[in-house]
């Protein structure tokens, strides 16, 4: 009977069973390997507060680094972040899910840049 046969499992190119084409994977790797400081989030008040705190921390540390604010959900997902706001330093996610205070951001930036 066909009721008791196992269904054939289809091969997946990605662990999340999405349509992970080689081009999409390469683009995601390029996005996450870029250096610099990025704030990931939709542009809400919390994301803007994190950006302000990071900007103030960079000024105190005398670091001339531009801050990119990434609002594209595809790019945010490329970092593996599911909770915004998030802070990325030199391609590594160093904080996510909370608004850092200036002193916290300063400590994270010093640790990440040394």
Lowest mean pLDDT among 10-19, 73-82, 83-92, 94-103: 10-19
pLDDT in tens, 1-26: 566 666 655 554 444 545 567 776 66
The answer to whether 14 is a known catalytic residue is: no
Identify the structural domains of the chain with CATH numbers, from first to last: 20-106 (3.40.30.10)
Both structure tokens of 97: 């899910």
- The structure tokens 């992970």 sit at 20
Q: 44 an active-site residue?
A: yes
User: Mean of the pLDDT values across residues 22-50?
Assistant: 79
pLDDT band at 47 (very low <50, low <70, confident <90, very high): very high
Q: Which one of 14, 15, 16, 44 is the catalytic residue?
A: 44
Distances, alpha carbon 101 to alpha carbons 10, 55, 69, in Å:
47, 11, 17
């Amino acid at each position: 009977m066909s009721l008791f046969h196992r269904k054939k499992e289809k091969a997946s190119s990605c662990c999340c069973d999405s349509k992970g084409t080689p081009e999409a994977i390469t683009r995601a790797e390029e996005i996450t390997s870029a250096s610099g400081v990025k704030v990931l989030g939709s542009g809400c008040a919390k994301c803007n507060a994190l950006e302000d705190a990071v900007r103030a921390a960079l000024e105190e540390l005398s670091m001339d680094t531009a801050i990119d604010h990434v609002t594209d959900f595809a790019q945010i997902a490329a970092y593996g972040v599911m909770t915004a706001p998030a802070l990325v330093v030199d391609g590594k996610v160093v904080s996510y899910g909370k608004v850092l205070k200036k002193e916290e951001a300063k400590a994270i930036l010093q640790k990440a840049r040394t």
